[in-house]
Amino acid sequence: MFTVKQLSKLAGITPRTLHHYDEIGLLKPSRVGDNGYRYYGEDAVLRLQQILFYRELDIPLDDIKKIMGRRDYDVMGALQSHKEALSKQAVRINRLIQTVDNTIIHLKGNTTMSDEKLFEGFSEEEQEKYALEAEQLYDPETVRESNRKWKAYSAAKKEVILAEGSAIYKDMIAVIPKGAKSAEVQAIVERWRKHMDYFWTPNLEQLLGIANGYSDDPRFKANFDKMDLRLAEFMRDAVKVYVDGKK
């Protein structure tokens, strides 16, 4: 068991931070002694580690509470997502560091950088291209609102969202043998549906349309095929079972 002072020192945070986490219901002590002191056991220490991982990725405390409060929250899955998100962040930071180094060399007059190179690591051209295409297929205002919502997220949060989506698809691949109607598969479809809320909240028919696009659109299917050749069609079948069950 750790006291507030011991745990705050171990984690590199202030005692006030632990008190605040307790007050908002994010991290409760394992027990409170007769003297009013808070004591933290192994489960609480592990939960604090998860919270600090999310904070490192600039996730607001309210969002962390929602994420960790989900019934399907899985510590091992979360750790894997943290690893993937941090790895992607490291790649992006390394690109930015390289851009800084190249700029320094450029300013010293040792080489010439193109305008594109000066801003390498910042571009969202691909997102803009797909957004314009999506406006031709769906309600334009819905697509624009989704695009605005995405751009409002911090770079770190975008990485977390993408890592969460990747984890969902990996988990889906693992349960393909169980069949589209299995409880395990349908639970992952529900996670996928909730994940959509980061962008927009589609109705049942729109959900089915998205899943159909995974197998019907060559570009989407190509991306899914890189993960598993069965995934695109299986997602379509699993989402159809989900939608039929909700009607």
Rounded to an integer, what distance in angstroms lies between the CA atom of residue 17 and that of residue 26? 11
- pTM higher than 0.85 for the full model? no
- pLDDT reported for residue 108: 62
- pLDDT reported for residue 219: 72
Rounded to an integer, what distance in angstroms lies between the CA atom of residue 63 and that of residue 53? 13
Q: What is the pLDDT along the chain (247 residues), one digit of tens a residue?
A: 899 999 999 888 899 999 999 999 999 999 998 888 899 998 899 889 888 888 877 778 888 888 888 887 777 777 777 677 767 666 666 666 666 666 566 556 555 444 444 344 434 444 444 444 444 445 556 666 777 787 788 888 888 888 888 889 999 999 999 999 999 999 999 999 998 888 878 888 888 888 888 888 787 788 788 888 999 999 999 999 999 998 7
- pLDDT reported for residue 131: 45
Rounded to an integer, what distance in angstroms lies between the CA atom of residue 29 and that of residue 7? 11
First-to-last C-alpha distance (Å) of the chain: 50
Rounded to an integer, what distance in angstroms lies between the CA atom of residue 206 and that of residue 6? 51
Which residues make Cβ contacts (< 8 Å) with residue 8, sequence separation at least 6? 14, 15, 17, 18
